[in-house]
């Protein structure tokens, strides 16, 4: 065990021999992390995978540098069909320990088998589609989708559980029991699977009623004796009912004759009616198409004339629009200056006016005095506005409102390009929103502009995660 402060090897003492740091609590935390790891390892060995995941998550929560626990957690995720969480754990493990790490071997094996990785990715997408079908009430379609998933990815635990639940819902208790038993073979510690299985078995084996009549049959000679409680019922063996085979043959012959009559008498007339109707529709569609073609040509000529007029007007409008934009920007800047002079603490009102001053659009037409005034205002209120929008953006980010977070954090960094957290969390908002290209761009800027910082290290980890997801 090494000291978390100076990195030297610790002894049995409660203090570090090099830097003198009190490491008693640190040792307890590391030891407890190892206890959870050993517990997770034992549970994984006996295929109690749910319990293993829980223990290993506790282990890395206590000690994020517990590489063995993190790698094993990835393996358990992979075993239950959760490939994306598995890759995330291995990528983090690789970034924490770049050399002599089994996570390299696991990820390399996945890279060397792109077909399997593609199958797993498709399984996850199809599973999400099946969930949507369930939400929409299309349960039969969801069952079909889940069956296809399990054909290609039989270890997908969540798919087994959902399919078993759907079988329970539609009354197919035997199928539900069979499916949930398969899920239990994958993870015998899943309480969810056991609960569903218990319900299926309960429906298959309901409790016997107290007043249920039990019949015992004994066959002797020409009679059959039934016992119902304390009474004995005697019934002759032979019955006047017709033989079952003869009845079935008669029904079958009747069905065949009915089908033949339909084919030779009804079907030809029906086919002729369909053909006549189709011919009439084709003729109507053809006439309608000719009419639309002529109208389309006339409209096209009109459109061409209008486009020429629009082009002439557009040139005139653009000559005025630049002036309008410049005037509007000047008005907003003056309003912001007025608010700052009157109530310098009214950050919200200042921000509302400054947001409407777009220097990118008016940089060429703006006067030197206007540019100088804008620069002065940015020096005075830029950091304050940046901090204002950073707080709004970070609050939206933690609330998972990533669109609002992107808008506010972009404004924050625009007002102060030294605001490192704003740039980092802007990249994280893009990442959570699925826009990986913009996320990588923001993370690369963090690493370039603010090297050797906490956010730069975190940005490097995020870029590695994105690269692994895109492979």
Last residue of a domain, which of 172, 204, 236?
204
The reply to whether 77 falls in a domain is yes
Give yes or no: residues 56 and 125 share one domain.
Answer: no
Phi, psi at 15, each rounded to 5°? -125, 145
Distance CA 445, CA 429 (A): 15
pLDDT in tens, the chain (471 residues): 677 667 677 777 777 777 767 767 877 888 898 999 999 999 999 988 989 999 999 999 988 889 999 999 999 988 888 877 888 788 888 888 888 889 888 888 888 887 877 888 788 888 888 888 898 888 898 899 899 989 988 888 999 999 999 999 988 889 999 999 998 999 888 888 999 889 888 888 754 333 333 344 444 444 555 544 445 555 554 444 444 554 566 666 666 666 655 555 555 666 666 666 666 666 656 556 655 655 566 656 655 655 565 555 455 445 544 555 667 777 788 788 878 877 878 899 989 988 888 777 776 666 676 777 788 788 888 899 999 999 999 999 999 999 999 999 999 999 999 999 999 999 999 999 989 899 999 999 999 999 888 999 999 998 988 888 776
Give yes or no: residues 387 and 463 share one domain.
Answer: yes
The reply to whether 191 falls in a domain is yes
Q: Is 44 exposed, middle or buried (0-12, 13-18, 19+ CB in 10 A)?
A: buried
Give yes or no: residues 82 and 176 share one domain.
Answer: no
Distance CA 435, CA 449 (A): 21
Residue 129 CA: distances (Å) to CA of 154, 355, 356, 433, 454: 18, 41, 42, 19, 38
The reply to whether 149 falls in a domain is yes
pLDDT at 229: 46
The reply to whether 34 falls in a domain is yes
Give yes or no: residues 42 and 71 share one domain.
Answer: yes
Residue 26 CA: distances (Å) to CA of 12, 63, 415, 429: 12, 10, 42, 34
Give yes or no: residues 98 and 129 share one domain.
Answer: no
Q: How many CA atoms lie within 13 A of 375 on its CB side?
A: 8
How many structural domains compose the chain?
3
The reply to whether 17 falls in a domain is no
Residue 444 CA: distances (Å) to CA of 271, 340, 470: 68, 35, 17
Give yes or no: residues 373 and 456 share one domain.
Answer: yes
Contact 178, 144 (CB under 8 A): no
Which residue segment(s) compose the domain that 448 sits in?
Answer: 367-470
Q: Is 336 exposed, middle or buried (0-12, 13-18, 19+ CB in 10 A)?
A: buried
The reply to whether 177 falls in a domain is yes
Give yes or no: residues 386 and 454 share one domain.
Answer: yes
Give yes or no: residues 65 and 143 share one domain.
Answer: no
Of 168, 189, 188, residue with least CA distance to 177: 168
pLDDT at 381: 86
3-class state of residue 155 by DSSP:
coil
Give yes or no: residues 37 and 107 share one domain.
Answer: yes
Helix (H) or strand (E) holding 218: strand 215-220
pLDDT at 299: 58
Q: Is 0.75 topped by the overall pTM?
A: no
The reply to whether 357 falls in a domain is no
Give yes or no: residues 372 and 464 share one domain.
Answer: yes
Q: Give the alpha-carbon dihedral of 358, 362, 366, 370, to 10 degrees.
A: 0
pLDDT at 234: 55
CA 349 to chain centre: 39
Using the structure block, give the residue that is written with the tokens 């085979």.
Answer: 245
CATH number at residue 400: 1.25.40.10
Number of Cβ within 10 Å of residue 2's Cβ equals: 13
Using the structure block, give the residue that is written with the tokens 């206590």.
Answer: 62
Give yes or no: residues 101 and 82 share one domain.
Answer: yes
Last residue of a domain, which of 142, 173, 204?
204
Query: Regarding beta strands 215-220 and 231-236, do their DSSP bridges make them parallel or antiparallel, or are they unpaired?
Result: unpaired
Of 66, 41, 61, residue with least CA distance to 52: 41
The reply to whether 65 falls in a domain is yes
Give yes or no: residues 84 and 139 share one domain.
Answer: no
Distance CA 378, CA 371 (A): 11
Number of Cβ within 10 Å of residue 419's Cβ equals: 21
Last residue of a domain, which of 177, 204, 231?
204
């Amino acid at each position: 065990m090494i000291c978390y402060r100076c990195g030297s090897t610790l002894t049995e003492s409660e203090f570090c021999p090099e830097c003198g740091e009190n490491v008693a609590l640190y040792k307890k935390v590391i030891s407890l992390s190892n206890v959870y790891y050993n517990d997770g390892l034992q549970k994984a060995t006996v295929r109690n995978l749910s319990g293993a995941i829980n223990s290993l998550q506790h282990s890395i929560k206590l000690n994020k540098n517990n590489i063995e626990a993190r790698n094993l957690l990835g393996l358990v995720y992979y075993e239950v069909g959760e490939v994306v969480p598995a890759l995330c754990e291995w990528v983090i493990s690789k970034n924490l320990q770049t050399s002599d790490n089994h996570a390299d071997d696991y990820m390399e094996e996945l890279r060397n088998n792109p077909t399997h990785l593609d199958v797993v990715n498709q399984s996850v997408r199809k599973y999400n589609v099946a969930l949507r079908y369930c939400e929409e009430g299309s349960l039969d379609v969801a069952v079909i989708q889940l069956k296809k998933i399990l054909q290609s990815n039989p270890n997908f635990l969540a798919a087994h559980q959902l399919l078993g639940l759907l079988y329970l819902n539609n009354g197919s208790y035997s199928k539900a029991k069979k499916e949930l038993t398969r899920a239990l073979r994958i993870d015998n510690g899943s309480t969810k699977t056991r609960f569903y299985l218990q319900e299926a078995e309960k429906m298959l084996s309901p409790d016997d009623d107290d007043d249920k009549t039990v019949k015992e049959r004994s066959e002797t000679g020409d009679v059959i004796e039934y016992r119902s409680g304390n009474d004995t019922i005697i019934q002759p063996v032979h019955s006047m009912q017709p033989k079952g085979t003869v009845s079935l043959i008669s029904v079958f012959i009747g069905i065949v004759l009915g089908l033949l009559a339909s084919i030779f008498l009804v079907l030809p007339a029906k086919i002729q009616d369909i053909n006549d109707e189709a011919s009439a529709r084709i003729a109507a569609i053809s006439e309608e198409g000719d009419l639309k073609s002529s109208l389309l040509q006339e409209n096209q000529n009109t459109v061409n004339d209008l486009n020429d007029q629009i082009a002439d007007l557009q040139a005139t409008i653009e000559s005025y629009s630049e002036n309008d934009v410049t005037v509007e920007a000047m008005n907003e800047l003056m309003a912001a200056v007025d608010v700052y002079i009157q109530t310098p603490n009214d950050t919200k009102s200042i921000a509302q006016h400054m947001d409407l001053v777009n220097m990118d659009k008016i940089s060429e037409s703006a006067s030197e005095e206007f540019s100088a005034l804008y620069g002065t205002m940015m020096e005075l209120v830029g950091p304050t506005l940046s901090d204002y929008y950073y707080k709004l953006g970070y609050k939206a980010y933690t609330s998972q409102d990533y669109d609002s977070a992107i808008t506010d954090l972009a404004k924050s960094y625009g007002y102060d390009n030294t605001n490192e957290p704003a740039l980092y969390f802007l990249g994280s908002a893009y990442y959570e929103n699925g826009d990986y290209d913009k996320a990588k761009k923001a993370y690369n800027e963090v690493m370039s502009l603010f090297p050797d910082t906490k956010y730069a290290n975190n940005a490097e980890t995020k870029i590695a995660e994105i690269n692994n997801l895109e492979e």
